[in-house]
Chain A
């Protein structure tokens, strides 16, 4: 397996534009997580899915953020409209189902810059 694949790797957009980040988890993994990383706040959990169903979206900062997982092999994180304070690195991670917790496999991230 190629691992968790995120696209694009870098995104530069103007304030007010819509941004869509994409993630392909590892085949067979039941959990998918979206994180945002900044110097000030570290690594924040935005939302996670189990078997394509959103379980906890309490970390989504505001209504401008939305996430979907239409099938087991694809998820999107959308920001509309984008703002400069959304600039960060966004990571997607997936894990198999395990009651004891198991390794999370991370993508290489999308570096978003909103100007």
Chain B
């Protein structure tokens, strides 16, 4: 069945560092891909999405490109802030939404 694999955390970085969180997927169809973010005590919120190959989703300085050839959707940000500390989930939509296990990100001031 469909699945999403993302790098395990926690990931700890200093403020203004470059961020990459890896995500790969397996799917029988041609899924749409998403990154969600979860802040403490809250539900998940959509961060960005891409619906077809080579699309780049972007929001709040975060970017991810839909790579069909490598079945990947890695999340990047050039300069992280303390306020980016959260749990990040990669997800796909085929006929339902499947999430990765999440990556906890700590940003140190």
A residues at B contact (CB < 8 Å):
4, 33, 35, 41-43, 45, 48, 55-56, 91, 93, 95, 100-104, 106-109
Contact = CB atoms under 8 A, between A and B. Distances in A.
A42 B43 contact: no
A43 B99 contact: yes
A104 B36 CA distance: 9
A103 B46 contact: yes
B98 interface: yes
Contacts of B93: 100-102
A31 B51 CA distance: 19
Given A100-B32, A100-B51, A101-B51, A45 B97 contact: yes
Given A43-B102, A101-B31, A108 B42 contact: yes
A48 B44 contact: no
A107 B43 contact: yes
Contacts of A43: 44, 89, 99, 101-102
Majority DSSP secondary structure for residues of A touching B? strand
Interface in B1-54: 31-32, 34, 36, 41-46, 49, 51
B97 A101 contact: yes
Nearest to A4: B43
B55 to A, nearest CB: 11
B60 interface: no
B87 to A, nearest CB: 10
Given A42-B99, A103-B34, A103-B49, 11 more contacts: A4-B43, A43-B89, A43-B99, A43-B101, A45-B98, A93-B44, A101-B49, A103-B46, A104-B36, A106-B45, A109-B43
B39 to A, nearest CB: 11
Contacts of B100: 42
A108 B43 CA distance: 5
A101 B31 CA distance: 8
A103 B32 CA distance: 10
Contacts of B41: 108
Contacts of A100: 32, 51, 93
Nearest to B44: A106
